[in-house]
C-alpha cells in the first residue's frame, strides 16, 4: 500500500491495508479459488454458511461487506500464505501472496486510478 499510494495519509493507508487483509476479503479469495470445497470440518452448519457467503459475493448477491463468512474460510487462506512463506522463504512467499491477492489488489487499483487527491482520500476513508 505504501509503495503504490504515496499520497495517502498514514491513517488512510492503514484503512486500505486493513481492507485488504480482513476476514471478508480473505474469505472471498477462498471462494474465488474454490478452496472451500477442500475444507475438512465436523460442523454441520458450515456448508450452509459457505453457500450463503458464496451467494452474497456473487454478482446477484449483497456484496462483500454485508457478509459474515465462516471463520474457517479466511483461516485456510492465512494458513496457505504462511505455508508459502515457510516453503519458499520470505521473497517467494511474498510473490505467492501477491499472486493470490491479485484479484483484490487489481480491484483496489482500479478504484484508485485517475482519482484526484480529494477523491482518493475520501475513498480510502469510506473503505472501512
Please report, for residues 32, 80, 114, the alpha-carbon distance to residue 111 in angstroms, rounded to integers and kept in the order given. 20, 27, 9
The percent of residues above 70 in pLDDT, for the chain, comes to: 84
Would you say residue 47 has pLDDT above 50? yes
> In whole angstroms, what separates CA 24 from the centre of its chain?
6
Q: What does the pLDDT read at residue 125?
A: 58
* Residues of the domain holding 84: 30-101
Q: Which helix (H) or strand (E) holds 117?
A: helix 117-126
Is 73 contained in some domain? yes
Distance between CA atoms of 47 and 103, rounded to whole angstroms? Answer: 24
What does the block give as the cell for 51? 453457500
What does the block give as the cell for 79? 494458513
Confidence band of 1 (pLDDT split at 50, 70, 90): low
The label of the residue with cell 500500500 reads 1
Q: What is the pTM of this model?
A: 0.80
Is 58 contained in some domain? yes
Distance between CA atoms of 111 and 105, rounded to whole angstroms? Answer: 10
Would you say residue 128 has pLDDT above 50? no
Distance between CA atoms of 28 and 58, rounded to whole angstroms? Answer: 10
Is 4 contained in some domain? no
Average confidence (pLDDT) over 14-27: 88
Is 3 contained in some domain? no
Is 59 contained in some domain? yes
Is 116 contained in some domain? no
Residues for the chain: how many in total? 128
Residues 56-108: tens digit of each pLDDT: 988 888 877 778 899 999 999 999 999 999 999 999 999 999 999 998 888 87
How many distinct structural domains can be found in the chain? 1
Distance between CA atoms of 96 and 102, rounded to whole angstroms? Answer: 10
Is 91 contained in some domain? yes
Amino acid at each position: 500500500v505504501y509503495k503504490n499510494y504515496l499520497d495517502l495519509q498514514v491513517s488512510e493507508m492503514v484503512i486500505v491495508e486493513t481492507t485488504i487483509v480482513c476476514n471478508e476479503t480473505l474469505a472471498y479469495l477462498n471462494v474465488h479459488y474454490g478452496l472451500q470445497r477442500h475444507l475438512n470440518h465436523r460442523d454441520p452448519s458450515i456448508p450452509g454458511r459457505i453457500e450463503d457467503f458464496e451467494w452474497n459475493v456473487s454478482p446477484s448477491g449483497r456484496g462483500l461487506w454485508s457478509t459474515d463468512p465462516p471463520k474457517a474460510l479466511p483461516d485456510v487462506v492465512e494458513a496457505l500464505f504462511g505455508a508459502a512463506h515457510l516453503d519458499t522463504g520470505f521473497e517467494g512467499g511474498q510473490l505467492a501472496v501477491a499472486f493470490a491477492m491479485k484479484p483484490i489488489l487489481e480491484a483496489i487499483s482500479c478504484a484508485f486510478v485517475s482519482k484526484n487527491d480529494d477523491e482518493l482520500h475520501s475513498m480510502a476513508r469510506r473503505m472501512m
